A and B are shown apart, each in its own frame.
Chain A
Amino acid sequence: MVAASLLAATAAGAADLEAGRRKAEACAACHGADGNATIPGTPSLAGQPVYFTHWQLIKYRDGRRKDPQMTPLAEKLSDTDMADLAAFYAAQPTRRRPASLDPARVAAGKQLAEVHHCASCHRPDLSGQQQAARLAGQDFEYLLRLLRGFKAKTAADLDGTMTVASQPLTPEDIVNLVHFLASLGPDPTSK
């Protein structure tokens, strides 16, 4: 559990996109070669803010976020690996994940997103910024699982904001919000 580094330092600013592309080959089977995943339940990483991806990898590595597949992978990553991967995925064009959406739920979810101030951190178009994730067009099952996790206080939260924000949501609200979030972004059929 102890990591030591003799002034071997790393730098977010020195992130290498090409190195990130090579390192991301190990992630492609689940997350897609360009970070646009196709497996339901697996999140797309394309277009995620650099800080977001990097912070999630740190949390997997130090155990604050847990996943049977991600934990062992992240434990092997250095800070430089993480910075390279985050830079690569942030630079990839995003595609909306296919989902069967109910227009009434999309409309209800849009209203909920306003009432619950999602745009305050995730930007008005919900494309994310800094450590706040891109939500627009993300995988339906993944969004559902994560929001339910925040509500249940079991999902890893960098600073508690999402756990607090999700407490007032009813199970129905969560489904409606996910319909709305999954509806955003470019049409998946027009590549």
Chain B
Amino acid sequence: MRPVSPIVLAVTLALVPASTLLAQAPPPWKQGQPAEMANSTLAPIAQPPAPKAPGEIPVDKLKVPAGFKVSLWAHGIHNARVMTWGDKGTLFVSSRVAGNVYAVVDRGGQREVKVIAKGLNLPNGIAFKDGTLYVAEVSRITKMPGIEDKLDSPPAMEVVYDTLPKDLPHGWKYLAFGPDGKLYFNIGAPCNICVPPDTHANISRVNADGTGFEYVAHGVRNSVGFDWHPATKELYFSTHARDWLGDDMPSDRLDVASKKGMHFGFPFCHQGDILDPDFGRGRSCGEFAKPLIKTGPHVAGNGVQFYTGAMFPGEYKNRIFLAQRGSWNRTQKSGFKVMMVTLNAGSAPKYEVFAEGWLQGEEIWGRPVYTQQMKDGSLLISDDYAGAIYRVAYQR
């Protein structure tokens, strides 16, 4: 028997119409804030309503390792998030609160940006297979067959699967095809911290035709980035940890799901080794899978991608790029970097910075969210705050 969570209790009480002067749940981002932090001024960073002009994007402030060069590849893409390639060279780009899906077409050095769908419900997840673009909104997955031939008159979106939970907190999805040809996505916890319904806080999958729904991983607060190891085919994913436990606790994580059905600890155990002060009672961290890497408190790791290209030096093969959108629930900002992870057989992975500079002092001018490899092996990085895409190339 699970303990009744105070949140569930508060929600239940709130359904009693007689009096609403009982304690009410605060907005989702503030939920779980302890009384002693009630005067905190920390709040999520607002998404600007328009992309930045090129002159307002100081690409020269971005630092990459020696031999690499970073440039502004595209701009004017409001709230640019996930990037995925079409078969014919179109880069599809998603957004979250902007509600748009974009197609970016390369016209000899100039990038043309087209809006191919708008007014969608947090359409963060996009994936492409066999000529068809798949889009994940909060409660449904749809597809646009043959889209690359119809960028100026996009076809209607056909429903693939539309019975996902409608909860908006952590309701936006990452979407990707696994090596098994199935569509994988997250169903986030509908809260900062709570005992989620059994239907939430997981990574799930369906077949490309919408049949065969099943859970893949449990106890995952919200993962909005994952990829599969090119050789072992294991699922690697990032997770954002809970807020309001202080500046340095708990760490976000990078995990490996080596098989179906593993539990990664939420809401009982965080970062593999600390019990939640409210929800951890009577539990042990030994019950749950431990993270591959504690990636740091509040860094907000999003995009996870194995490097398989030929442009970067040999040691980059099968390294993981982890784009961190950066913190809000921390008095000194953390994250706002693209990290890289080198896996070492038999020893701890190496975890180091690949690109940084979006954070200057305590001021931010951009937020890296996802990466995508180009055919030539260079790496694109999307920035949802500036509405831009950067390209990192290696020059011998």
- Interface pair A161/B114, CB less than 8 Å apart: no
**With A62-B118, A62-B119, A168-B24 known to touch, is A160 a contact of B168 (CB < 8 Å)?**
yes
CA gap between A182 and B370 in the complex, in Å: 44
CA gap between A131 and B122 in the complex, in Å: 16
Q: A189 on the interface (CB 8 Å rule)?
A: no
Q: A22 on the interface (CB 8 Å rule)?
A: no
Q: A112 on the interface (CB 8 Å rule)?
A: yes
- Interface pair A111/B21, CB less than 8 Å apart: yes
On chain B, the residues within 8 Å of A54 by CB distance are: 49-50
CA gap between A160 and B170 in the complex, in Å: 11
- Interface pair A4/B115, CB less than 8 Å apart: yes
- Interface pair B76/A12, CB less than 8 Å apart: no
A167: which of B14, B51, B168 is its contact (CB, 8 Å)? B14
Q: A99 on the interface (CB 8 Å rule)?
A: no
Q: A33 on the interface (CB 8 Å rule)?
A: no
**With A7-B112, A131-B46 known to touch, is A14 a contact of B24 (CB < 8 Å)?**
no
On chain A, the residues within 8 Å of B78 by CB distance are: 79
A130: which of B46, B74, B119 is its contact (CB, 8 Å)? B46
**With A115-B20, A173-B20 known to touch, is A2 a contact of B76 (CB < 8 Å)?**
no
- Interface pair B50/A12, CB less than 8 Å apart: yes
Please indicate which of the listed interface residues A54, A55, A63, A82 has the most CB atoms of chain B within 10 Å of its own CB: A55
- Interface pair A160/B114, CB less than 8 Å apart: no
B101-118 vs A, Cβ < 8 Å mask (1 yes, 0 no): 000000000111111101
How distant is A84 from chain B, measured CB to nearest CB, in Å? 11
CA gap between A54 and B79 in the complex, in Å: 14
A37-67 vs B, Cβ < 8 Å mask (1 yes, 0 no): 0000000000000110011001000111000
How distant is A39 from chain B, measured CB to nearest CB, in Å? 26
Q: B153 on the interface (CB 8 Å rule)?
A: yes
Q: B26 on the interface (CB 8 Å rule)?
A: yes
Name the residue on A nearest B46 (C-beta). A130
- Interface pair B27/A9, CB less than 8 Å apart: no
- Interface pair B27/A117, CB less than 8 Å apart: yes
B26-52 vs A, Cβ < 8 Å mask (1 yes, 0 no): 111010000000000001001111111
Name the residue on A nearest B115 (C-beta). A3
Q: A121 on the interface (CB 8 Å rule)?
A: yes
Question: Size band of the A side of the interface?
Answer: 35 or more
On chain B, the residues within 8 Å of A7 by CB distance are: 74-76, 110-113
A 100-148 contacts with B by CB, 8 A: 111-112, 115-117, 120-121, 130-131
A11: which of B28, B53, B118, B152 is its contact (CB, 8 Å)? B53
CA gap between A3 and B101 in the complex, in Å: 11
How distant is A80 from chain B, measured CB to nearest CB, in Å? 8
- Interface pair A5/B53, CB less than 8 Å apart: no
How distant is B117 from chain A, measured CB to nearest CB, in Å? 8
Please tell me which stretch of B92-100, B194-202, B293-301, B306-314 contacts chain A, meaning at least 4 of its Cβ atoms lie within 8 angstroms of it. B92-100
- Interface pair A160/B110, CB less than 8 Å apart: no
CA gap between A120 and B25 in the complex, in Å: 11
- Interface pair A82/B26, CB less than 8 Å apart: no
Name the residue on B nearest A121 (C-beta). B27
Name the residue on B nearest A4 (C-beta). B114
How distant is A50 from chain B, measured CB to nearest CB, in Å? 8
- Interface pair B15/A58, CB less than 8 Å apart: no
CA gap between A112 and B15 in the complex, in Å: 16
How distant is A79 from chain B, measured CB to nearest CB, in Å? 5
B72-85 vs A, Cβ < 8 Å mask (1 yes, 0 no): 00111010000000
How distant is A160 from chain B, measured CB to nearest CB, in Å? 3
- Interface pair A62/B168, CB less than 8 Å apart: no
CA gap between A50 and B56 in the complex, in Å: 18
A 17-51 contacts with B by CB, 8 A: 50-51
- Interface pair B56/A13, CB less than 8 Å apart: yes
- Interface pair B20/A9, CB less than 8 Å apart: no
B3-30 vs A, Cβ < 8 Å mask (1 yes, 0 no): 0000000000011010011111111101
- Interface pair A2/B53, CB less than 8 Å apart: no
Q: A86 on the interface (CB 8 Å rule)?
A: yes
Name the residue on A nearest B53 (C-beta). A11
- Interface pair B97/A158, CB less than 8 Å apart: yes
- Interface pair A168/B15, CB less than 8 Å apart: yes
On chain B, the residues within 8 Å of A167 by CB distance are: 14
7 residue pairs of the A-B complex, CB under 8 angstroms, read: A2-B116, A7-B75, A64-B99, A115-B22, A116-B24, A168-B15, A168-B20
Known pairs A7-B76, A157-B168; list 7 more (Cβ under 8 Å). A4-B114, A4-B115, A9-B76, A11-B51, A11-B53, A64-B119, A79-B51
